Amino acid sequence: MARPPFIPGFDYRGTFAYSITCCTHDRAPWFSDPAAVTIAIAELTRAAAGASFDVLAWCAMPDHLHLLVQGTSTDATLRPFIKCWRQRSAHAFLRVKRQRLWQIGYWERVVRSTEDLQQVAGYIVANPVRAGLARSVDDWPHVGGRLIDGRGEGDGDGDGATKVAPS
């Protein structure tokens, strides 16, 4: 599958929030293994810290990963952040499992100012319930993030607002 196109003229820089979906290579169910989830999330946390991003929510499904991330500075740029995370997690996964982790490309959606980040996070972690993999969000072990772990609320920049995405 070809990489989905980015929004023309938008530089994906700043304190915007993004919903991201990354699929595994050949849709292999790598994330059924907690060790694979640990690798991906450890590298996500590391890459986010280095790229000025906050990981608001994540949910690992068997063959893909959903994220809600937000830039924490005006210099935070989505594409290099995601590239760094995917490269690091792919290399770590390859060392352990001797397999390719990621499909080429990923899906991104810029979260609009009219959307509540807590609700977007709730939607992300409810994916296993909608897919019939869990009876409740609490039954699925592979979820987390600042808004999910109860370590805070809001969008990460302290003003209570989400930045407006381009139309």
Q: Hey, how many other C-beta atoms are within 10 angstroms of the C-beta on 82?
A: 22
- CATH number assigned to the domain comprising residue 58: 3.30.70.1290
C-alpha triplet 91, 97, 100: angle, nearest 5°:
55
What is the residue type of 166? P
pLDDT given at position 165: 38
In a domain, 150, yes or no: no
Q: Hey, how many other C-beta atoms are within 10 angstroms of the C-beta on 138?
A: 10
Q: How far apart are CA 100 and CA 122, in angstroms?
A: 30
In a domain, 163, yes or no: no
* Predicted TM-score of the model (pTM): 0.85
Question: Quick check: helix, strand or coil at residue 56?
Answer: strand
Query: Which is nearest to 156 in space by CA: 61, 52, 85, 77?
Result: 52
In a domain, 98, yes or no: yes
In a domain, 100, yes or no: yes
- Look at the chain and report how many structural domains it folds into: 1
In a domain, 105, yes or no: yes
pLDDT given at position 10: 85
Mean pLDDT by 10 residues, the chain (167 residues): 71 94 97 96 97 98 98 96 97 95 94 93 96 94 89 36 33
pLDDT given at position 9: 81
In a domain, 11, yes or no: no
Range of the domain at 140: 17-144
In a domain, 64, yes or no: yes
What is the residue type of 10? F
In a domain, 28, yes or no: yes
Given a contact cutoff of 8 angstroms between Cβ atoms, the answer to whether 5 and 79 are in contact is no
pLDDT given at position 65: 98
